[in-house]
Structure 1
Amino acid sequence: MIVASPFATLLSPATALATPPVGASAVTLAKQTIDGMDYIVSELTIAPGGSTGWHTNEGELYGVVKAGTVNHFIVDCTQDGVHSAGDPITDPAGPDHVHTVRNLGNVPAVLDITYVDSAGAPTTDSAPNPGCPFE
Protein backbone atom coordinates (compact mmCIF):
# COMPACT_ATOMS: atom_id res chain seq x y z
CA MET A 1 0.00 0.00 0.00
CA ILE A 2 1.34 3.42 -0.95
CA VAL A 3 0.39 6.47 1.08
CA ALA A 4 0.52 9.65 -0.94
CA SER A 5 -1.48 12.75 -1.54
CA PRO A 6 -2.78 13.12 -5.08
CA PHE A 7 -2.74 16.82 -4.35
CA ALA A 8 1.03 17.06 -3.84
CA THR A 9 2.70 18.79 -6.76
CA LEU A 10 5.90 20.73 -7.14
CA LEU A 11 5.35 24.44 -6.77
CA SER A 12 6.62 26.65 -9.53
CA PRO A 13 6.52 30.46 -9.39
CA ALA A 14 3.16 30.30 -11.19
CA THR A 15 1.64 28.12 -8.47
CA ALA A 16 3.39 29.62 -5.47
CA LEU A 17 0.08 31.02 -4.22
CA ALA A 18 -1.71 27.70 -4.66
CA THR A 19 -3.99 26.57 -1.87
CA PRO A 20 -2.76 23.40 -0.18
CA PRO A 21 -5.11 20.68 1.00
CA VAL A 22 -6.22 20.93 4.63
CA GLY A 23 -7.13 17.76 6.49
CA ALA A 24 -7.11 15.69 3.29
CA SER A 25 -5.06 12.55 2.75
CA ALA A 26 -5.09 9.79 0.18
CA VAL A 27 -3.96 6.19 -0.04
CA THR A 28 -3.19 4.76 -3.47
CA LEU A 29 -4.94 1.39 -3.68
CA ALA A 30 -3.93 0.41 -7.23
CA LYS A 31 -2.14 1.77 -10.27
CA GLN A 32 -1.98 0.28 -13.75
CA THR A 33 -0.66 1.72 -17.02
CA ILE A 34 -2.38 0.48 -20.17
CA ASP A 35 -1.79 1.85 -23.67
CA GLY A 36 -0.14 5.03 -22.40
CA MET A 37 -2.81 5.79 -19.80
CA ASP A 38 -2.50 5.57 -16.01
CA TYR A 39 -5.48 4.19 -14.08
CA ILE A 40 -5.02 5.13 -10.43
CA VAL A 41 -7.45 4.11 -7.70
CA SER A 42 -7.16 6.06 -4.44
CA GLU A 43 -9.08 6.36 -1.20
CA LEU A 44 -9.37 10.02 -0.23
CA THR A 45 -10.28 11.03 3.32
CA ILE A 46 -11.24 14.62 4.14
CA ALA A 47 -11.54 15.50 7.82
CA PRO A 48 -14.44 17.62 9.08
CA GLY A 49 -13.67 21.20 8.07
CA GLY A 50 -11.03 20.02 5.60
CA SER A 51 -10.67 20.53 1.87
CA THR A 52 -8.66 19.38 -1.12
CA GLY A 53 -7.46 22.93 -1.77
CA TRP A 54 -8.14 24.57 -5.10
CA HIS A 55 -6.89 22.42 -7.97
CA THR A 56 -7.51 21.04 -11.43
CA ASN A 57 -7.38 17.44 -12.61
CA GLU A 58 -4.99 16.42 -15.38
CA GLY A 59 -7.36 13.68 -16.54
CA GLU A 60 -10.86 12.42 -15.90
CA LEU A 61 -11.91 11.57 -12.35
CA TYR A 62 -14.61 9.08 -11.40
CA GLY A 63 -15.52 8.19 -7.85
CA VAL A 64 -18.04 7.32 -5.20
CA VAL A 65 -18.53 8.76 -1.73
CA LYS A 66 -18.17 5.92 0.77
CA ALA A 67 -18.88 7.88 3.96
CA GLY A 68 -19.84 11.40 4.97
CA THR A 69 -20.73 14.27 2.66
CA VAL A 70 -18.61 16.51 0.43
CA ASN A 71 -19.42 19.88 -1.09
CA HIS A 72 -17.97 20.71 -4.52
CA PHE A 73 -17.20 24.37 -5.33
CA ILE A 74 -16.14 25.85 -8.67
CA VAL A 75 -14.10 28.87 -9.73
CA ASP A 76 -16.94 31.41 -9.31
CA CYS A 77 -17.25 30.38 -5.63
CA THR A 78 -20.59 28.66 -6.14
CA GLN A 79 -21.39 25.20 -4.89
CA ASP A 80 -22.22 22.98 -7.83
CA GLY A 81 -22.75 19.73 -5.96
CA VAL A 82 -23.35 18.04 -2.62
CA HIS A 83 -22.43 14.36 -2.58
CA SER A 84 -23.28 11.95 0.25
CA ALA A 85 -22.44 8.31 0.94
CA GLY A 86 -23.36 6.20 -2.08
CA ASP A 87 -23.31 9.11 -4.55
CA PRO A 88 -21.10 9.06 -7.63
CA ILE A 89 -18.80 12.00 -8.32
CA THR A 90 -17.01 13.03 -11.50
CA ASP A 91 -14.73 15.90 -12.43
CA PRO A 92 -13.73 16.97 -15.92
CA ALA A 93 -10.10 17.28 -16.92
CA GLY A 94 -8.16 20.39 -17.72
CA PRO A 95 -7.00 23.77 -16.49
CA ASP A 96 -10.40 25.39 -17.12
CA HIS A 97 -12.03 23.36 -14.34
CA VAL A 98 -10.60 24.86 -11.12
CA HIS A 99 -12.47 23.53 -8.08
CA THR A 100 -12.21 22.48 -4.46
CA VAL A 101 -13.95 19.76 -2.47
CA ARG A 102 -14.84 20.59 1.14
CA ASN A 103 -16.15 18.57 4.05
CA LEU A 104 -18.58 20.88 5.83
CA GLY A 105 -19.93 18.05 7.97
CA ASN A 106 -18.90 16.74 11.37
CA VAL A 107 -17.67 13.27 10.32
CA PRO A 108 -14.81 12.32 7.98
CA ALA A 109 -15.72 12.05 4.31
CA VAL A 110 -14.24 9.07 2.48
CA LEU A 111 -14.21 8.73 -1.31
CA ASP A 112 -12.92 6.02 -3.63
CA ILE A 113 -11.59 7.75 -6.73
CA THR A 114 -10.29 6.51 -10.08
CA TYR A 115 -8.06 8.90 -12.01
CA VAL A 116 -7.53 8.31 -15.73
CA ASP A 117 -4.48 10.29 -16.87
CA SER A 118 -1.77 10.20 -19.50
CA ALA A 119 1.03 7.94 -18.28
CA GLY A 120 3.26 9.78 -15.84
CA ALA A 121 1.05 12.87 -15.55
CA PRO A 122 0.17 14.16 -12.07
CA THR A 123 -3.40 13.47 -11.00
CA THR A 124 -3.93 17.08 -9.90
CA ASP A 125 -2.37 20.51 -10.25
CA SER A 126 -2.68 23.00 -7.40
CA ALA A 127 -4.37 26.31 -8.20
CA PRO A 128 -4.61 29.62 -6.35
CA ASN A 129 -7.84 30.53 -4.59
CA PRO A 130 -9.88 32.34 -7.27
CA GLY A 131 -11.02 34.97 -4.76
CA CYS A 132 -13.50 32.97 -2.71
CA PRO A 133 -13.95 33.80 1.00
CA PHE A 134 -12.98 30.20 1.85
CA GLU A 135 -10.14 27.85 0.96
Structure 2
Amino acid sequence: MIRRRSREFHPNPAPAVGTASRTLLRLRLPGRELLIRRTRIAPGGTSGWHYHDGTLFVLVTHGTLDHPYLSRGPAEYRRFRVFREPSGPANTHVARNNGTTEVRILVVYVNPPKSALSHQVTLPPGPI
Protein backbone atom coordinates (compact mmCIF):
# COMPACT_ATOMS: atom_id res chain seq x y z
CA MET A 1 0.00 0.00 0.00
CA ILE A 2 1.26 3.47 -0.91
CA ARG A 3 0.35 6.51 1.17
CA ARG A 4 1.19 10.07 0.28
CA ARG A 5 1.31 12.65 3.05
CA SER A 6 0.65 16.34 3.49
CA ARG A 7 2.93 19.13 2.31
CA GLU A 8 3.18 20.61 5.80
CA PHE A 9 6.23 20.23 8.02
CA HIS A 10 5.50 19.15 11.59
CA PRO A 11 7.83 19.64 14.57
CA ASN A 12 9.63 16.45 15.54
CA PRO A 13 8.93 15.15 19.06
CA ALA A 14 11.19 15.92 22.03
CA PRO A 15 14.01 15.67 22.71
CA ALA A 16 14.41 17.07 19.17
CA VAL A 17 14.68 20.86 19.13
CA GLY A 18 14.44 23.11 16.07
CA THR A 19 13.60 20.26 13.70
CA ALA A 20 10.54 19.61 11.56
CA SER A 21 9.71 16.88 9.05
CA ARG A 22 7.13 15.85 6.53
CA THR A 23 6.47 12.42 5.07
CA LEU A 24 6.56 12.28 1.29
CA LEU A 25 5.85 8.59 0.80
CA ARG A 26 5.14 5.48 2.86
CA LEU A 27 5.20 2.12 1.15
CA ARG A 28 4.53 -1.19 2.89
CA LEU A 29 6.28 -4.17 1.35
CA PRO A 30 6.44 -7.80 2.51
CA GLY A 31 8.78 -7.76 5.52
CA ARG A 32 9.74 -4.07 5.13
CA GLU A 33 8.38 -0.57 5.24
CA LEU A 34 9.85 2.15 3.03
CA LEU A 35 9.42 5.73 4.18
CA ILE A 36 10.69 8.91 2.53
CA ARG A 37 10.83 12.09 4.63
CA ARG A 38 12.13 15.64 4.32
CA THR A 39 13.58 17.19 7.45
CA ARG A 40 14.63 20.75 8.25
CA ILE A 41 17.03 21.56 11.07
CA ALA A 42 17.23 25.19 12.16
CA PRO A 43 20.56 26.69 13.27
CA GLY A 44 21.25 25.25 16.72
CA GLY A 45 18.68 22.49 16.17
CA THR A 46 19.22 18.85 17.10
CA SER A 47 17.48 15.51 16.73
CA GLY A 48 18.67 14.37 20.14
CA TRP A 49 20.70 11.17 20.46
CA HIS A 50 18.93 8.18 18.95
CA TYR A 51 19.16 5.03 16.85
CA HIS A 52 16.94 3.28 14.29
CA ASP A 53 15.58 -0.26 13.88
CA GLY A 54 16.16 -0.11 10.13
CA THR A 55 18.75 1.27 7.74
CA LEU A 56 18.50 4.88 6.58
CA PHE A 57 19.93 6.60 3.51
CA VAL A 58 20.36 10.36 3.88
CA LEU A 59 20.93 13.08 1.27
CA VAL A 60 21.94 16.52 2.55
CA THR A 61 20.19 19.00 0.25
CA HIS A 62 21.14 22.25 2.00
CA GLY A 63 23.72 23.31 4.57
CA THR A 64 26.18 21.20 6.58
CA LEU A 65 24.97 18.45 8.90
CA ASP A 66 26.92 17.60 12.05
CA HIS A 67 26.28 13.87 12.56
CA PRO A 68 28.52 12.22 15.17
CA TYR A 69 28.13 8.61 16.27
CA LEU A 70 28.62 7.67 19.89
CA SER A 71 30.92 4.76 18.98
CA ARG A 72 32.73 6.32 15.98
CA GLY A 73 33.11 9.98 16.80
CA PRO A 74 32.54 13.06 14.65
CA ALA A 75 31.12 13.16 11.16
CA GLU A 76 30.11 16.12 9.04
CA TYR A 77 28.17 16.01 5.76
CA ARG A 78 27.85 18.88 3.30
CA ARG A 79 25.30 19.59 0.58
CA PHE A 80 24.82 16.77 -1.98
CA ARG A 81 26.49 14.21 0.27
CA VAL A 82 24.72 10.86 0.62
CA PHE A 83 25.42 8.58 3.57
CA ARG A 84 24.02 5.47 5.22
CA GLU A 85 22.89 5.17 8.84
CA PRO A 86 23.16 1.56 10.05
CA SER A 87 20.54 0.15 12.42
CA GLY A 88 20.66 -0.72 16.09
CA PRO A 89 21.79 0.76 19.42
CA ALA A 90 25.46 0.25 18.52
CA ASN A 91 24.90 3.04 15.96
CA THR A 92 23.54 5.70 18.32
CA HIS A 93 23.99 9.15 16.74
CA VAL A 94 22.67 12.70 16.64
CA ALA A 95 21.85 15.07 13.76
CA ARG A 96 22.73 18.69 14.55
CA ASN A 97 22.99 22.01 12.83
CA ASN A 98 25.98 23.90 14.20
CA GLY A 99 25.86 26.42 11.35
CA THR A 100 24.02 29.66 10.70
CA THR A 101 21.75 28.46 7.86
CA GLU A 102 19.04 25.83 7.83
CA VAL A 103 20.08 22.23 7.12
CA ARG A 104 17.74 20.22 4.89
CA ILE A 105 17.90 16.46 4.42
CA LEU A 106 15.98 13.87 2.44
CA VAL A 107 15.82 10.53 4.27
CA VAL A 108 14.85 7.07 3.02
CA TYR A 109 13.98 4.69 5.88
CA VAL A 110 14.08 0.94 5.22
CA ASN A 111 12.45 -0.36 8.39
CA PRO A 112 11.00 -3.58 9.74
CA PRO A 113 7.18 -3.37 9.61
CA LYS A 114 5.50 -1.22 12.26
CA SER A 115 8.78 -0.13 13.86
CA ALA A 116 9.25 3.27 15.46
CA LEU A 117 11.10 5.85 13.35
CA SER A 118 13.73 6.15 16.09
CA HIS A 119 14.53 5.30 19.69
CA GLN A 120 15.78 8.17 21.84
CA VAL A 121 18.82 7.63 24.05
CA THR A 122 19.75 9.73 27.09
CA LEU A 123 23.49 10.31 27.40
CA PRO A 124 25.35 11.69 30.37
CA PRO A 125 26.35 15.36 29.98
CA GLY A 126 29.66 16.12 28.36
CA PRO A 127 31.14 16.94 24.98
CA ILE A 128 30.61 14.62 22.03
Q: TM-score, normalised by structure 2?
A: 0.86
Counting only pairs closer than 5 Å after superposition, residues 117-132 of structure 1 correspond to structure 2 as 117-132=111-126
AA paired with 1:30?
L
Cα pair 2:22 2:38 within 8 Å, conserved: yes
| Structure 2 residue 33 is the aligned partner of structure 1 residue 21 | no
CA RMSD of aligned residues (A): 1.9
Percent of aligned pairs with the same residue? 25
Report the count of equivalent residues. 122
Q: TM-score, normalised by structure 1?
A: 0.82
Q: Which residues of structure 2 form unaligned runs of 5+?
A: none
Match for residue 69 of structure 2 among 68, 71, 74? 74
Cα pair 2:17 2:47 within 8 Å, conserved: yes
Give CA deviations for 1:58-97 in whole Å, capped at 9, x if unaligned: 1000020000110111225831x11111000211001111
AA paired with 2:36?
V
Counting only pairs closer than 5 Å after superposition, residues 5-44 of structure 1 correspond to structure 2 as 8=13, 20-44=15-39
| Structure 2 residue 108 is the aligned partner of structure 1 residue 109 | no
Cα pair 2:28 2:34 within 8 Å, conserved: yes
What secondary structure does 1:132 align onto?
coil
Q: Which residues of structure 1 form unaligned runs of 5+?
A: 9-18
| Structure 2 residue 46 is the aligned partner of structure 1 residue 51 | yes
Greater relative contact order, per chain length (Cα 8 Å cut-off, separation 6+): 1
| Structure 2 residue 60 is the aligned partner of structure 1 residue 65 | yes
AA paired with 1:118?
P
What secondary structure does 1:73 align onto?
coil
Cα pair 1:76 1:130 within 8 Å, conserved: no
| 1:131 Cα offset (Å) | 3.8
What secondary structure does 1:93 align onto?
coil
Distance 2:78 2:64 in 1: 4
Residues 69 and 4 from structure 1, CA distance in 2 versus in 1: closer, same or farther, beyond 3 angstroms? same
